[in-house]
């Protein structure tokens, strides 16, 4: 089934722990994105990747890191989780690289993360 998968679906994490959220797409899209969504706020971009091997910082990158070793996978790591990182995290992808053209972003189902 074509699309984007994310894992885990939900997670409760103790503050200070390290956590990696996984994202995989099988549409061979060039660009991938990580957003967080908090109640009353719009989606906020954490990090993005225009193509495999490159990454960039979004609006709220502090406390998060990403890597893009290949086209399909774009993991997001919280090195030392804090309660303010409690949120719903969405991964998205688009065919065209951001900064080059307009293209629709398609979203994964999200990961609900609670940091205590």
Looking at the Cβ atoms of 69 and 101, the one nearer to another protein is: 101
Candidate segments 16-24, 40-48, 62-70, 77-85, binder of another protein by CB under 8 A: 40-48
Which 45-74 residues touch another protein, going by CB under 8 A?
45, 58
Of the residues 16, 53, 83, 100, which one makes contact with another protein according to CB under 8 A = 100
Rounded CA-CA distance 5/29 in Å is 14
Q: Which residues contact 39 (CB under 8 A, 6 or more apart)?
A: none
Rounded CA-CA distance 103/86 in Å is 29
* Order of strands, sheet of 19-25, starting from the edge strand that comes earlier in the sequence: 4-7, 19-25, 76-78, 64-66
Candidate segments 13-21, 22-30, 68-76, 95-103, binder of another protein by CB under 8 A: 95-103
Chain residues binding another protein by CB under 8 A are 35, 40-45, 58, 90, 98-102, 104-110
């Amino acid at each position: 089934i074509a699309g984007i998968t994310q894992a885990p679906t939900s997670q409760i994490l103790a503050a200070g722990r390290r956590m990696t959220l996984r994202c995989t797409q099988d549409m061979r899209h060039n660009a991938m994105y990580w957003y967080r969504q908090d109640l009353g706020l719009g989606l906020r971009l954490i990090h993005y990747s225009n193509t495999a091997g490159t990454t960039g910082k979004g609006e709220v990158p502090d406390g998060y890191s990403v890597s893009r070793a290949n086209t399909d996978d774009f993991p997001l790591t919280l090195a030392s989780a804090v309660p303010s990182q409690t949120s719903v995290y969405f991964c998205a992808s688009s065919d065209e690289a951001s900064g080059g053209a307009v293209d629709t972003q398609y979203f994964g189902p999200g990961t609900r993360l609670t940091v205590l």
